[in-house]
Amino acid sequence: MDLVERALAGERLALARLLTQVENDTPAGRAALDRLFPRTGRAHLVGITGAPGTGKSSLANRLARAFRSLGDCSPARKVAVLAVDPSSPFTGGALLGDRLRMKDISGDPGVFIRSMASRGAVGGVARATAALASVLDAAGYDPIFIETVGAGQSEVEIVRLAHSVVVVDAPGLGDDIQAIKAGILEIADILVVNKADLPGAENTLRALENMLELAYPAGSAERRRPPLLRATATTGEGVEEIVRAILEHRAYLKETGGWQRREQDRLRREFEALLSAALVARWREQAGSRAVHELFARIASREVSPSQAAEEAVKKTMGCE
């Protein structure tokens, strides 16, 4: 059996190695993705995002355990957690992953936890996350939780990968965090105020409730209003309700066709991104580095506009000239 077959057969070490190949975008990793693609599209991808330190990892841990013990299908579900760590020059993303890994689910063979450092370009992280999620999907993990710190563009990209997005808030965050929140509320399918045991939780709940009133005025049923839940990840309180909300959102997506729509949008975006990258690479190769330099110089000196230059390059690359 080769690595892909062993990973599909449930060998965790093989799966881990396969994920590394895919994350590093090696030729073997790319070939594996192509092979696995027909087996993907089954898993429920659940994004967990929110400001730093709100309790996303703790909740992911609780949720993974809760889904393991749902007992709604046999054999029991296999659950995965993909943690995309912020690219910190201090931790290199390793610390958070270790913290997550140390938690008590690590001994459960039905739970697979993987952390990846969010280094490199925006498109790169999002693409790598999508690729890792596909591998886990093909290997039968469902749901797959994807934890990201909701602070920037790359996180929004990663979250667009998910079918359902859980936005985690907590009391006691600074003002700069409020601005982050406004952006990620837009993408929430489920809102959770974690650390409900702390003073200030009621205020946070009320503030979010007000924001929801504004965003979803009574009587307008255009968009589904996300449920607002409270939880304490440290004790597990409220986790059952989040599980229910996730299952409800899944059912809602399946009923309304939203599941298929999200899937198609995602695959189309992935295809287009790959096509753009391939065309740029082909153009560079065909034109040669000298011509590429000259074209950039003509753009910089305002001789041609970027759009004129692009049009010219497309004509040449596509062989119309």
Ligand X SMILES: Nc1nc2c(ncn2[C@@H]2O[C@H](COP(=O)(O)OP(=O)(O)OP(=O)(O)O)[C@@H](O)[C@H]2O)c(=O)[nH]1
Closest residue by Cα to residue 210 from 241, 240, 178, 242 = 178
Give the C-alpha distances (Å, rounded to integers) separating 158 from 49, 136, 319: 10, 16, 35
At its nearest, how many Å lie between ligand X and the CB of residue 293?
A: 43
Residue number with CB closer to Mg ion (21 or 61): 61
Q: Which listed residue (54, 57, 154, 194) binds Mg ion by CB under 5 A?
A: 57
Q: Which does 54 bind (CB under 5 to 8 A by kind): ligand X, Mg ion, none?
A: ligand X
Query: What is the number of other CB atoms lying within 10 angstroms of the CB of residue 284?
Result: 14
Residue number with CB closer to Mg ion (7 or 82): 82
Q: Which does 52 bind (CB under 5 to 8 A by kind): ligand X, Mg ion, none?
A: ligand X
Sheet architecture: strand order including 190-193: 111-117, 78-85, 141-149, 45-50, 164-169, 190-193, 228-230
> Helix 122-138 to helix 27-36 angle, to the nearest 10 degrees?
50
At its nearest, how many Å lie between Mg ion and the CB of residue 231?
A: 15
At its nearest, how many Å lie between Mg ion and the CB of residue 173?
A: 15
Residue number with CB closer to Mg ion (36 or 168): 168
Structure tokens at 20: 């590394």
At its nearest, how many Å lie between Mg ion and the CB of residue 115?
A: 9
Residue number with CB closer to Mg ion (95 or 198): 95
Q: Which does 233 bind (CB under 5 to 8 A by kind): Mg ion, ligand X, none?
A: ligand X
Contact flag: residue 61 with Mg ion (CB under 5 A): no
CB distance 228 to 212 below 8 Å: yes
Residue number with CB closer to ligand X (22 or 48): 48
Residue matched to tokens 């309180």:
237
> Helix 258-300 to helix 239-256 angle, to the nearest 10 degrees?
80
Determine the residue type at 41: G
Backbone angles phi, psi at 290, to 5 degrees: -65, -50
Q: How far apart are CA 38 and CA 248, in angstroms?
A: 27
Residue number with CB closer to ligand X (72 or 176): 176
Structure tokens at 229: 């839940």
Residue numbers at the binding site for ligand X (CB under 6 A): 52-58, 96, 149, 194-195, 197-198, 232-234
Sign, CA torsion 21/26/32/37: positive
At its nearest, how many Å lie between Mg ion and the CB of residue 56?
A: 5
Q: Which does 195 bind (CB under 5 to 8 A by kind): Mg ion, ligand X, none?
A: ligand X
At its nearest, how many Å lie between ligand X and the CB of residue 147?
A: 6
Structure tokens at 28: 């073997």
| Nearest residue relative to Mg ion (C-beta) | 57
Q: Which one of the spans 25-33, 54-62, 179-187, 237-245 is the region binding Mg ion (CB under 5 A)?
A: 54-62
Which letter does DSSP use for residue 232 in this model?
B
Residue number with CB closer to ligand X (53 or 258): 53
**CB neighbour list of residue 77: distance below 8 Å, 6 or more residues apart:** 67, 68, 70, 110, 142, 143
At its nearest, how many Å lie between ligand X and the CB of residue 145?
A: 11
Q: Which one of the spans 33-41, 50-58, 109-117, 131-139 is the region binding Mg ion (CB under 5 A)?
A: 50-58
Binding site for Mg ion (CB under 5 A): 56-57
